[in-house]
Chains A and B, each alone.
Chain A
Amino acid sequence: EPEVTQTPSHQVTQMGQEVILRCVPISNHLYFYWYRQILGQKVEFLVSFYNNEISEKSEIFDDQFSVERPDGSNFTLKIRSTKLEDSAMYFCASRERDSRLYGYTFGSGTRLTVV
């Protein structure tokens, strides 16, 4: 079964530091996403990415966040200057087609702790 791979699984960082979360989507998938889940809360959409550009972003995805696909396989989420409230599980997801018939495949997540 193809998987979405995320690294690292855990990241602890000092407030104000930059972090890069990495994802390798499924190889034939064309649509990529980042979601966030603060402890005890719902899974929230951050951003979608297609054809090397952002398709849609939520109100959470402010100027301190950025995404890129630096090569043909990796998809990264950068948080420029982390805040305590950025502590959460971050999930990458990919999808083969942008169609209501297609499901999302999620990675196992990166647990980010900002101290």
Chain B
Amino acid sequence: TQLLEQSPQFLSIQEGENLTVYCNSSSVFSSLQWYRQEPGEGPVLLVTVVTGGEVKKLKRLTFQFGDARKDSSLHITAAQPGDTGLYLCGTSGSRLTFGEGTQLTVNP
């Protein structure tokens, strides 16, 4: 099972700030998915990246897949309180395996 490391574990920022969270592995990802989970809810898919160097944008969220496909980042521009949640990266081989997640809190 591929191990995923996410950093930081916790992040608390003010509304309007920018932030980046990271997902790393010692081995190559065949693909990587980012999810957001809110309290008491299941994870919700944000994006799937499959090609090294790929960049995808989803409104204020920018996802980047490393050239070597061993790392990925999620950048949020001008964070809003509605962005608060647990951000999970997951790699899908025969099963979807999640990292520990980054708990983001955006304060108004």
CA distance in complex: A45, B99 (Å): 12
> What total count of A-B pairs have CB within 8 Å?
56
Instruction: Determine if A108 and B96 form an interchain contact, defined as CB atoms under 8 angstroms apart.
Output: no
Q: How far is the CB of A10 from chain B (nearest CB, A)?
A: 10
Q: Which B residues between 66 and 108 are near A, CB-CB below 8 angstroms? A: 88, 92, 94-101
Main secondary structure of the interface of A (DSSP, over half): strand
- Residue from B44, B48, B94 within 8 A of A106 (CB atoms): B44
Judge if B7 is at the interface, Cβ distance under 8 Å: no
Q: A103 to chain B: which residues have CB within 8 Å?
A: 33, 45, 48
A48 contacts partner chain B, Cβ-Cβ < 8 Å:
yes
Instruction: Tell me if A105 is interfacial: C-beta within 8 Å of chain B.
Output: yes
Classify the interface of chain B: helix, strand, loop or mixed: loop
> Which residue on chain B has the smallest CB distance to residue A105?
B45
A104-B41 contact, Cβ under 8 Å, with A42-B100, A45-B97, A56-B95: no
Residues in A with CB closer than 8 Å to B42 are 4, 91, 93, 106-109
Q: Please, which residue of chain A has its CB at the minimum distance from the CB of B101? A: A42
Given contacts A45-B97, A58-B95, A108-B42, 17 further A-B contacts (CB under 8 A): A33-B95, A43-B43, A43-B88, A43-B98, A44-B98, A48-B95, A55-B94, A56-B95, A100-B31, A100-B92, A101-B31, A101-B50, A102-B48, A104-B43, A104-B92, A106-B44, A108-B41
Q: List 30 A-B contacts (CB under 8 A).
A: A4-B42, A33-B96, A42-B100, A42-B101, A43-B37, A43-B98, A56-B94, A56-B95, A89-B40, A93-B42, A100-B30, A100-B31, A101-B31, A101-B48, A102-B48, A103-B45, A103-B48, A104-B33, A104-B45, A104-B92, A104-B96, A106-B42, A106-B43, A108-B40, A108-B41, A108-B42, A109-B40, A109-B41, A109-B42, A111-B40
